[in-house]
Structure 1
Amino acid sequence: MKKNIAIVMGGYSSEVNISLTSGNVVYNHLDKEKFNAFRVHILEEKWVALDDKDNEFVINKNDFSFNLNDKKITFDCVFNAIHGAPGENGMLLAYLDLIGLKYTSAPFYQMALTFNKRDTLSVVKEYGIKTAISIYLNKGDTINLEAIINKVGLPCFIKPNNAGSSYGISKAHTKEEILPAIEKAYKEDSEILIESFLDGTEVSVGVIQYKGKVKVLPITEIVTENDFFDYEAKYEGKSEEITPARLTDVEQTKVEETAKKVYSVLNMSGFSRSEYILVKGEPHFLEMNTVPGLTEESILPQQAQIAGISLKELFENAIESALL
């Protein structure tokens, strides 16, 4: 009997349109002979399921069901394609746990932890993972520019603590650029992170659960036309993504081992894509994305393709793993 799958997409953050694109890609690649797939828009103003003609049906939040042609539709599994809140930060997953519905992401605590950049860094540092030097600020904190520069140096990165897709991130080259960058970051989040600049090769590493085992996908090297891998570089073609990355065998082994260790110490499951900077051959962890982009052009699907895993196989594996 075919399983009913809800592909949740949208969300409450700046990443809503990116999520809608990812969710539709998942919907288009799922085998309709195996699954009854429904797109479910989780938006601030409404939760609705869509049929093939984009007709909307209100989701009953008591049990995450809806009525279609006088028949109640319930789900066997939720495929999480929400970037940002409430899918990537764990909020929706805690709700799904409460009503006993399975989902493709890691558990809600792991999602909440990895969505919080500074908490994630605090955990991985305890396991010997190298990171940038960092300073944390909450909105309203006194800003001491001299202390910031003395600790992290220039240039430095200012980023929202809880945000994705490079929204609100700036690279400050001078003292004068720090305050405007802080204000930009605060527009996305009330907590911010200021990090030292790491001069080296940037790589992105997908680690997933595949057929019951943790699998490190081929590594992608990021070469951006811009000052850093910002929104424009990620989504508007201002970067080159080279897979597999141009690394030595030693560098590749170090990155793979570090990525697998980070996945393990954070108790992850499901999809993940983490960013690293190789400084003098040593990988430095930046952050982890637990709902990475899932379009044909996105990094993790590119890596899976090179590993011989099609989008259809990638998405079906996620569902089958969740249903175990």
Structure 2
Amino acid sequence: MNVAVVMGGYSDESVISVRSGQLILANLDRNKYTPFEVHILPEGWDVLIEGSKHAINKADFSFEKDGTKIAFDVVVNTIHGTPGEDGQMQAYWQLLGLPYTGCGFYQSALTFNKRDTLSVLNKFGIPRAKSIYLSKGDAIDAQDIAATLGLPFMVKPNQSGSSLGISKVNSIEEFDKALEFAFAEDSDILIESFLKGMEVSVGVLNYQGKTTVLGITEIVSHNDFFDYEAKYQGKSDEITPARLDEATEQKVREISIKAYEALGMSGFTRSEFIIVDGEPHFIEMNTNPGLSPASIFPQQAAVAGVAMSDLFDNEIKLALERKVLFKK
């Protein structure tokens, strides 16, 4: 079975995505699959084979090598950010009838939009921070925002990952810089009240036909919050399993499954919560979580005693089953 392991993307997260792709390539069973390294980048779509690039034909997502056309049976998608985590590539592959791992194009687009995700989950009674949504060009009254949300508060791009463009605002004087930082990533931003409590990251997936919590990781950031440095430059402690009492752990598990199913998810996800007074508050859901060796999701798999190769087998099986359902 020819498997396209697709990585890269058009955002600053492309470097992280390529690391994730390498872990996938290393863990696919060569007795079952013939994997190909595929880079989707602004400068081109290419298959990399022994240092040579072979251009992807966008008409059918195939390529040629030595005059022979090679097509893919399934795509394993690990693009972080646009266009692989916001629904664009998923819609394209679906139009081609090419099965792909992860969630569908609608769920990808929905969860990539923080405001819309929070709006949907609010209907299911899932706790969250108080928030204000703004677009570039809107009139912004810092004093009014501080009065509504209290200080400190968080400023985030509405559509961005890896904590890019996020700031914690401790005083009104810091607000303009935070706005500039967030608007550099997206033209829409989300301003949220600061939640003080334990942050946990929860890996959830459909495994062997059942919504399963892979693990719960406690995040102890060395910085003010779990920012890019904390995630990728060693400025945090990630403790798996999280140090939770039994009752709180059960709440986290239940609300994580509820969020996953409420959003109609499939595939790997990593949801972030902050636990305030024993209640998990939803922050966001990542539908293409990092899969580099240092990432949280592989750490959770290791603690759970589940091989990454088994998880990828499961993902490919789900992708092929979804293709059959789609054709019907």
TM-score bucket of the superposed structures, by smaller chain:
over 0.9
- CA positional deviation for 1:263: 0.2
Match of 2:74 in 1: 77
- CA positional deviation for 1:39: 0.8
Match of 1:174 in 2: 171
Match of 1:205 in 2: 202
- Selected match of 2:122 from 120, 125, 131: 125
Q: How does 1:1-324 map to 2 (within 5 A)?
A: 3-51=1-49, 53-324=50-321
> Helix, strand or coil: the match of 2:229?
helix
Q: Are 2:155 and 2:192, in contact at CA under 8 Å, matched by a contact in 1? A: yes
- Spell out, residue by residue over 1:73-111, the C-alpha distance to the aligned partner (whole angstroms, 9 max, x if none): 111111011000000001011000111100001000000
> Helix, strand or coil: the match of 2:26?
helix
- Spell out, residue by residue over 1:218-251, the C-alpha distance to the aligned partner (whole angstroms, 9 max, x if none): 2100001111000000001110001100001000
> Helix, strand or coil: the match of 1:157?
strand
Distance 1:295 1:10 in 2: 13
> Helix, strand or coil: the match of 1:218?
strand
Distance 2:125 2:34 in 1: 45
Q: Structure 2 counterpart of 1:194, which letter?
A: I
Q: Are 2:16 and 2:292, in contact at CA under 8 Å, matched by a contact in 1? A: no
Q: Aligned-residue CA RMSD in angstroms?
A: 0.7
> Helix, strand or coil: the match of 2:215?
coil
Q: Are 1:10 and 1:42, in contact at CA under 8 Å, matched by a contact in 2? A: yes
Q: Structure 1 counterpart of 2:34, which letter?
A: N
- CA positional deviation for 1:54: 2.3
Distance 2:75 2:148 in 1: 44
Q: Structure 1 counterpart of 2:5, which letter?
A: I
The ranges of structure 1 where at least 4 consecutive aligned residues each deviate by more than 3 angstroms after the TM superposition are: none
- Spell out, residue by residue over 1:13-35, the C-alpha distance to the aligned partner (whole angstroms, 9 max, x if none): 11010011111111111111110
Q: Which runs of 5+ in 1 are unaligned?
A: none
Distance 1:226 1:180 in 2: 18
Distance 1:218 1:248 in 2: 15
Q: Which runs of 5+ in 2 are unaligned?
A: 322-328
Distance 1:77 1:150 in 2: 51
User: How many aligned residue pairs are there?
Assistant: 321
The 10-residue stretch of structure 1 (306-315 or 215-224) with the greater mean CA deviation from structure 2: 306-315
Distance 1:261 1:212 in 2: 16
Q: Structure 2 counterpart of 1:115, which letter?
A: F
- CA positional deviation for 1:284: 0.2
Q: Are 1:211 and 1:321, in contact at CA under 8 Å, matched by a contact in 2? A: no
Distance 1:305 1:106 in 2: 23
> Helix, strand or coil: the match of 1:33?
coil
Distance 1:66 1:268 in 2: 31
TM-score of the two chains, using structure 2 as the length reference: 0.97
The percent identity for this pair of structures is: 57
